[in-house]
Chain A
Amino acid sequence: MTPSPQDQGNWQRVHPISPLVRGWVAVIGVLVVFGRNTFEDLLRSASSGGRDAVEGPPAWLILAIVGGAAVIFGTVFFLSWYFTRYSVSDDHVRVNSGVLFRQQRQARIDRVQAIDVVQPLLARIFGLAELKFEVADAGKSAMRLSFLRLDEARRLRAAILARAAGLTPLAGNAGAVPEAPEREVMRLSPARILGSTVLSGTTLTLVGAAALLAVLASSVRSWAVLAGFLPLLLGLVAAYWKSFSTEFNFRVAVSPDGVRLHYGLLDTRSQTIPPGRVQAVGITQGPLERLAGWYRVHVNVAGYGVDRSEGGGRSVVLPAGTLDQVLQVLELILPDPGTPDPVGVFTAGLTGKDSDGGFQPSPRRARWLDPLAWRRSGYRATGTALLCRHGVVFRSLQVVPHERTQSLGLFQGPLMRRLRLIDFVLHSTAGPVRPVVHHLDLMQGRQLFLAQASRAAAARRIARPDRWLEAPQPIDQDKEYLHEQ
């Protein structure tokens, strides 16, 4: 290990039982494999009245195997724990891990995109938590500290967020940072989550599968086809359960460090998205959700990427909310809507058509390409964000702040060329929201393209600094600070 000059001597280890919490699946697996043989032999000898007992392995062998396994697991776990160390300095979070293949990872604190405190079920039982620190690399490699005691994880989160915000606590005095107070804004009842699970796209799949099954069964006149659908059915049940257990007890809170989301039935997670880290917002409503008048709100955050491994729900900021709740959440993640009438504009974006709410709609000839949804297609630029509206069965509204625009594109295929139509595409960071405006009039699209490019350029010049509690600086000073790196 090479001690770096910045090493402030505050290297710490994670909680000793962490490897067990992480590796319990392997332990259980080995126990099952070894245990089953032994157990079966025992059973056999018992059922045969002990006559076959001599054939089973002697007790000392079983003990030796169990003991050996314990020693091996213990050693591996001890080494893995011993070699995993982390440190939080004023500018960096560092994690060193690995026994044979050493890994040293460090991330700049002011580049933090989001921080999660995750508690898988087993960790919850032990009062432990994992701290996940996201930087902008599309969800490939977060910094994970697993596992810490829950209060330690929260203290560390507060310290990291305070430093990221630009507050500088006394060096080596991380404990002195009080946790930013949070105010609960919204809490979704279990009934709401159950309802949203039932009204989700999974049900549409189920209905489709059931219809297909009915047709097949009546034409083949045999129930044998049912067997073929069993895996699909199991998959759907699993999807329902996953959606319900992930989103259970969903709470939205706000603190000076950003938006806090808490959710989970067995595994719980609490996410913090600092201000200005939301790259794009997508509000969607499927045909079943419309019956209840609920919307689902997704966000693109640079660190989350399209990572679906952990329940896929990390980018959801509201699983099922009424229009009022959606507007409330939007107010938290886009504090400045850039229009005097945000309620009217966003409502028009969600439910309106044609030029409601000042939206620029697609021309009438777009119906040749888009017979149902052409009246919904449209956009509206406010002072701070671009709103893209589309979809009539699956309604959706995408909001991209001007200062978060990465690049823009125009696209035209041969048919669109004939109809003098054009698609306008906004490139956002990887995530569930892919903003696009379909089938605009050619002139209008070209105009939007150039106007949006200059709006984005203007917004970048006055963008807030990465450290959100510092006062905004003119771009020249920002440059100096960037040269320091």
Chain B
Amino acid sequence: MIRGKVNSPVPLIRTFSHEGRKGFGGILQERKGEAKLAMWKSDWSDRLTNQTLLDREAIRVSGRGRNVDFSLDDTVPIDQLEEHLRQHLERNGDWLVDGEAVTISVGRRVLKPEDLMRIRQIFEDEFHLKIAGFRCEPEILEREISEETGVPIFLAHPKGLSTPKAKAIRQAGTSLLVKNSCRSGTSILHDGDVVVLGDVNPGAQVIATGDIIILGALRGIAHAGANATDATEAFIIAFVLRPLQLRIGRYIGTAPTDNGKEQATVVPEIARVSGHSIVVAPFTGKFQRNPMP
């Protein structure tokens, strides 16, 4: 078992350690001040947009009756998506007649009015197509957008999930399923939740704006709730939780530097923020929304 204390770039306040909690009771630290965080956040969004597309089609076109539908991958950052869209229309747009009405499926992406207008501009001004409407998942439907932009927005699945259930599933972003172990040097950045089917080894990092679930051993770095200032809701679950460093929102915890033997029994554990520190508890399989007051 490898454990080490990691020096933080900013002065740290030592916070109390939790009694009776397994694993991460050692040193729990909080970043002081917001300046560093803001810097880091801009770095994050930079890296997110520079991320290359995996072998995935960002734009898919399908016919719905007489209607042509453009499905936009909701995991691709909006700036990249625009580029993909332009390229796609330039290469494959010949068969579309000028003025033809198309619909746009945005998936689970939460579109800001200005994003919507940018997409509309590409279709209507640059390629002379008409947008009949946007399709989206029910939980991200925002009527104001429709009113503000004058474009009709309708549900992708009219008999879809009811609103409270959809909220429990997650409002923004989608989940990324990583179907292999993350070895040293791997960096996964995702706007949403991340599930890793394998281990996260030392030297690898998983950074997500949502939650992180690792169906294996976490020995590297995991950062959940990455660009939220208040990420008390975010959590990290791993079958074997032995990270070098845990980060949830603006909290950083390092592993205790004891040279003790590994615990005899290894249970899945959940790490989350409680009372200004990261607290680790055994994960019994039932997720409770607010288990720690």
Whether both chains belong to one complex is answered with: no
Residues of A within 8 A of B (CB): none
